[in-house]
Chains A and B, each alone.
Chain A
Amino acid sequence: MTISLLFMGVIMGVVAWWLLKQTVDTSPWQADAPYAASEDFSGRSLPQPDAKLVLIIFLVVVTSLFALFISAYLMRMTMASDWRPLPDPDLLWLNTAVLILSSIALQWAHVAARREQLDSLRNGLFVGGFFAFVFIGGQLLAWQQLVDAGYYVHSNPANAFFYLITGLHALHLLGGVVAWGVTTIKLMGGTEVARLRLSVELCAIYWHFLLVVWLILFGLMLST
């Protein structure tokens, strides 16, 4: 549980530190008039748009989920002597490259949206989405290869964790693809770029996040 504990420690540390910072230097019992349009009295604690903030908090929750899986992975590995690492298919390297490309393309779309360049935005979105589909297809292919080679989900805990974690990661990416789809449909429907800027940015953030998660998971599987 060290990984999870560390993660929770960091998160709760940040939350507690931020909350204490907000609350330590106040005299709540004093009444005053909040007339000035001073930022101190607006009801917003953070400058981010709500949608972006909620995505970030959601990503923390997802990180908690994956951290727990990694904890379970490491604990199960040492708890019994039946752990036989499965060969990592070479295809996974290719998939990793595809996911990186997908992330780069969405970053490109994000920059284009900021500059209101419609063509680049469209290209970036399409390329990013395309590579995301390729990645998911590639993961399925990797599964197929392993199953063909006789690495079934129930034959070893290493296999079980592999299918479980990659599957869960792919599911999260599929969730992102839904958001990507909505954004793309809106773009095709002629919605102004300015109104899509936030959606594109959120897609890009989510993709980068899943890329980092994938790199950590892949690294974990390579090293064990």
Chain B
Amino acid sequence: MSTIAHDADDFVAPAEIPEMELYHPKTWLGKYVFSQDAKVIAIQYAVTAMGIGFIALVMSMLMRLQLGFPDSFDFINPSVYIQLVTMHGMIMVIYLLTALFLGGFGNYLIPLMVGARDMVFPYLNMLSFWMYFLAVVVLVASFFVPGGPTGAGWTLYPPQAILQGTPGAEWGIVLMLVSLAIFIVGFTMGGLNYVVTVLQARTRGMTLMRMPLTVWGIFMATVLALLAFPALLVSAIMMLFDMLLGTSFFMPAIVSMGQPLDHTGGNPILFQHLFWFFGHPEVYIVALPAFGIVSDLLSVNARKNIFGYRMMVWAIIIIGALSFVVWAHHMYVSGMNPNFGFFFATTTLIIAVPTAIKVYNWVLTLWRGNIRLNVPMLFAIGFIFTFINGGLTGLFLGNVTIDLPLSDTMFVVAHFHMVMAVSPVLVVFGAIYHWYPKITGRMMDETLGRWHFWITFVGTYAIYYPMHYLGFLGVPRRYYSIEGTNFIPESAMSLNAGISIAAFIVGAAQLIFIYNLFISYSRGKEAGGNPWEATTLEWQTADTPPKHGNFGKSLPLVYRWAYDYSVPGAEKDFIPQNVPPSSVEKGTDETNQ
């Protein structure tokens, strides 16, 4: 079947098409609102994600107010507190990190880095963003419905998620589930696009093994997300059925508020399996793009090729495949068969092997590099620290016997914030400082950036390091108040107050970043086309910021991998991917544009 061309154009290599027929809108609305240009969509995604993420940041500050200084704030009662916990977690994991890495960086970087004019299906791409936007609107709407947003915890475990007495049990949970379903549909549209673009729309010469690791990370994360999000959709649909139609998928026979409910025989553990079948790959959906981006930041700023490129690619692939067989390590305390626990502990520890390979390779990339300690590099190195930290505590929690006492304590909070909150967010910041010059044509302010980095980096350690200790003391997580618990010493309260103060400082430091984003847009130093002297294709565009169609008249041809830094004998310490070998030998530096 595939040998018959339905349309001859499909079989001409993209690089030979002088200018792809893109839909060029005439109106302002078509250019900036309902745009089909991946770069505009990327910015829409990023702005929406960072907007909602800022709300979640404010929520965490409110939580810290309560934890650090209990009984001082009347507007935070137990219901509000658990609602804050829930929405903070859900927004940060799904609506901020997933959307920003895949929708934001994915849309901006994939076409530019692989040398395509746009995503393969621009219209679908536009729909993807607007579905995401709708999901965010529905999510925000849940703050204004009677009862407020759901307070079920970000994992939305039944039965309590839909029982009376849980905040938002009437409206909040329904809107939450609907919003997730819309998000998943929207993401699938985008995700199909990213995968097909990487597979089919690369420019001539851009073999898979010449792609920058950023693209590899985003590509594999998208594959994971496409396969894992259906599990969340399934659990959301089934929970909606339980809630609205009275079925008993997850709801056991239960007495609520003195009234026996009609449900019988359902099993909450079923939900946990489905949820974590999505939930664990989700960790890698967030982590793999971060791995990819950080590899590129390190290589550019160490002026060295990434150490062990092929290993890095294979590690990404293997981590992706393994991420589907570790989900039940989130369920050690669910009363499962110990043999099960043993199996999942083993797979969990195995996944540490490819991850460790990546960490070694990052460190070895720095070894004897000609390091430029600019702001993106600071964030990239900061990431290595926080990721190793969070990864090591993961070894504790991956073992059943150690997990049992530590589960549901602050230790877990410290662990996952270190490994999948702070680490990816540091990469997000680094990546924004790195690519902002390409997106706007201006550099971000260096001094402000350094302040932002040091306060954030040191501050997060001040927040999460002591939290491990609280966990060892047995301070439970998700608790509104730990008053009256005798085993927790008074000093833990002072520690909590200290953590809160550090959190406020870090929170306030993010305002520096936002100020920097705005001020640099108009007052930043002119960046030029390639301020970091990087090799990847997005820095070789004819215009900065790149116009619709990305590469001007003709697409670049790729002659080399993305990591030709400090090549012996070359005139400069970097050779862009589109420089042919012949011009390097002659000592000239002309690109083939």
Which of B10, B207, B234, B563 contacts A29, CB < 8 Å?
Answer: B563
A64 is an interface residue with CB less than 8 A from chain B? yes
A146 to B497, CA, bound (A): 61
B358 is an interface residue with CB less than 8 A from chain A? no
A68 touches B265 (CB 8 A): no
A198 touches B6 (CB 8 A): yes
B581 is an interface residue with CB less than 8 A from chain A? yes
B301 is an interface residue with CB less than 8 A from chain A? no
A29 to B241, CA, bound (A): 54
B249 touches A76 (CB 8 A): yes
B249 touches A41 (CB 8 A): no
How far in angstroms is the closest Cβ of chain A from B334? Answer: 13
Which of A15, A20, A164 contacts B223, CB < 8 Å?
Answer: A15
B324 touches A8 (CB 8 A): yes
A160 to B270, CA, bound (A): 15
A76 touches B267 (CB 8 A): yes
A110 to B357, CA, bound (A): 49
B204 touches A41 (CB 8 A): yes
B154 is an interface residue with CB less than 8 A from chain A? no
A20 touches B321 (CB 8 A): no
How far in angstroms is the closest Cβ of chain B from A189? Answer: 18
Beta-carbon contacts under 8 Å, A13-36 to B: 13, 15-16, 19-20, 22-23, 26, 28-34
B270 touches A79 (CB 8 A): yes
Chain A contact residues: helix, strand, loop or mixed: helix
B-contact 0/1 string along A58-81, CB 8 Å cutoff: 101100110011011001100111
A29 touches B273 (CB 8 A): no
Known: A16-B321, A42-B13, A157-B248. A68 touches B234 (CB 8 A): yes
A43 touches B248 (CB 8 A): no
- Chain B residues lying within 8 Å of A71, measured Cβ to Cβ, are 274
- Chain B residues lying within 8 Å of A16, measured Cβ to Cβ, are 317-318, 320-321
A195 to B580, CA, bound (A): 39
How far in angstroms is the closest Cβ of chain A from B538? Answer: 16
Report the stretch among B305-313, B399-407, B446-454, B513-521 that lies at the interface: B305-313
Known: A28-B310, A53-B196, A54-B192. A198 touches B247 (CB 8 A): no
How far in angstroms is the closest Cβ of chain B from A10? Answer: 11
Which of A54, A75, A82, A197 contacts B121, CB < 8 Å?
Answer: A54
B196 touches A13 (CB 8 A): no
How far in angstroms is the closest Cβ of chain B from A164? Answer: 6
- Chain B residues lying within 8 Å of A50, measured Cβ to Cβ, are 10, 120-121, 196, 200-201
Most buried by A among B13, B318, B575: B13
Report the stretch among B385-393, B466-474, B499-507, B552-560 that lies at the interface: B552-560
A34 touches B234 (CB 8 A): no
Which of A48, A52, A53, A164 contacts B238, CB < 8 Å?
Answer: A164
- Chain B residues lying within 8 Å of A47, measured Cβ to Cβ, are 2
A37 to B205, CA, bound (A): 10
Beta-carbon contacts under 8 Å, A77-94 to B: 79-83
A1 touches B264 (CB 8 A): no
A61 touches B6 (CB 8 A): no
Q: Nearest chain-A residue to B115 (Cβ)?
A: A43
A43 touches B15 (CB 8 A): yes
Known: A12-B321, A72-B238. A34 touches B192 (CB 8 A): no
A81 to B202, CA, bound (A): 54
- Chain B residues lying within 8 Å of A198, measured Cβ to Cβ, are 6-7
Most buried by A among B193, B202, B207, B227: B227
Known: A31-B560, A43-B14, A114-B4. A81 touches B265 (CB 8 A): yes
A117 to B14, CA, bound (A): 32
A65 to B269, CA, bound (A): 19
How far in angstroms is the closest Cβ of chain B from A46? Answer: 6
A48 to B79, CA, bound (A): 54
A10 to B6, CA, bound (A): 31
B265 touches A195 (CB 8 A): no
Most buried by A among B115, B209, B318: B209
- Chain A residues lying within 8 Å of B195, measured Cβ to Cβ, are 57
A49 is an interface residue with CB less than 8 A from chain B? yes
A141 to B318, CA, bound (A): 48
A15 to B222, CA, bound (A): 12
10 cross-chain pairs, A with B, having the tightest CB-CB distances, nearest first: A43-B202, A80-B265, A82-B265, A31-B560, A154-B246, A198-B6, A34-B205, A160-B247, A65-B230, A42-B13
Q: List 26 A-B contacts (CB under 8 A).
A: A15-B317, A29-B309, A31-B559, A31-B575, A32-B560, A32-B581, A33-B580, A42-B204, A43-B115, A43-B204, A43-B206, A50-B121, A54-B193, A58-B188, A68-B234, A71-B274, A75-B267, A79-B267, A79-B270, A80-B265, A83-B265, A153-B247, A154-B247, A154-B262, A157-B249, A164-B241
